[in-house]
Structure 1
């Protein structure tokens, strides 16, 4: 079981760091690198769903604080913004 979650963490780390824009690669990728090792399976499930959101949508949530964030991902967006001091 631990290997399975490790594989998922590695896959999520790669997906987080390869979003398609340099800004998101850095913002989401660095956050993932720091936080993925401590994520539980449930946390990882949630983060993987976040990574499935389109790049433009995530970019607007992170870089344009006036854009409304999906209630499902408000916690992840807030964590990433706080991690990078964007609050």
Structure 2
């Protein structure tokens, strides 16, 4: 694995666990801890884009009925919800 990928993985994992709200820190951070090491470069790039979304949108997608509106990130939202047993 290249050093660049390792740096990106660590940076993404830190960003996932330091969202600014406890709920998102736990949901997104624990998901990242468990899965980020196995992500391909394309999956990591997609996850990094997901992390750039605003906290209110992420919280609505992960915890509310708005999850159907996650658009391009519906796959990530679904994986996180499944990981935490949220259906």
* Fold agreement, TM-score > 0.5: yes
| Aligned twin of 1:6 | 6
| Aligned twin of 1:27 | 27
Q: TM-score, normalised by structure 2?
A: 0.95
| Structure number having the greater helix percentage | 2
The runs of at least 4 consecutive aligned structure 1 residues that moved more than 6 Å come to none
CA root-mean-square deviation: 0.9
* Unpaired segments ≥5 residues, structure 1: none
* Unpaired segments ≥5 residues, structure 2: none
In the TM superposition, residue 78 of structure 1 has moved relative to its aligned partner by: 0.2
Aligned pairs for 1:60-79 within 5 A: 60-64=60-64, 66-67=65-66, 68-79=68-79
Aligned pairs for 1:36-75 within 5 A: 36-64=36-64, 66-67=65-66, 68-75=68-75
In the TM superposition, residue 71 of structure 1 has moved relative to its aligned partner by: 1.8
